[in-house]
Amino acid sequence: MAALRLSALVFFIVVVATTSLIPTSAKLTTNFYDKVCPQALPAIRRVVKQAIDLEPRMGASLLRLHFHDCFVNGCDGSILLDDTSNFKGEKTALPNVNSVRGFNVIDDIKKAVDKACKRSVVSCADILAVAARDSVNILAGPLYEVLLGRRDARNASLNDANRNLPPPIFQLPTASR
């Protein structure tokens, strides 16, 4: 049990560190949606709470989904993009296939946020970040600030996901070398 907690803590620290070090061209702020849609963050939390109440493992899945998004070319929501004729997305990358989940919860959050805001103003990248934060907090972890104002990716890269994400066979000592 202690090893599981230590692994979860290390994973959490990596996610927070990763998301805070990613360069962006936009100025991110904690109050980005306060004026355009003050109901956005409560809507995200409400759907995350409902999903975790139905299946407690979903909290970890949403955190992992955010991590897998951020680890490939930054926190841009690219993991949510389906394949198109122009690119193969990240969903079918080796570290993601049959592994990352929670896409349906993100879809539910997006619908709830768009309804609360009466239009689409919140990026999917920000939804992923806030859903991960809320998951941690709902499952008795800390409530940390999330910088908002990310823009959604318009493409994704299967090759970058395969190259940048740690494979599922990595053990923590292997990944930290």
Annotated binding site for substrate: 166
What is the distance between the alpha carbons of residues 81 and 85, in angstroms, rounded to a whole number? 12
Q: Single out the residue of 89, 78, 77, 71 nearest to residue 129, CA to CA.
A: 77
Binding residues: 69, 72, 74, 76, 78, 90, 166
- The residue from 64, 66, 68, 150 that is catalytic is 68
Binding residues for Ca(2+): 69, 72, 74, 76, 78, 90
What is the distance between the alpha carbons of residues 156 and 6, in angstroms, rounded to a whole number? 32
- Contacts for 100 with CB less than 8 Å, ≥ 6 apart: 61, 64, 65, 68, 79, 91
To the query of whether residue 68 is one of the catalytic residues in this protein, the response is yes
- Burial of 23 (C-beta count, 10 Å sphere; 0-12/13-18/19+): exposed
Tokens found for residue 28: 């991110």
Catalytic residues: 68
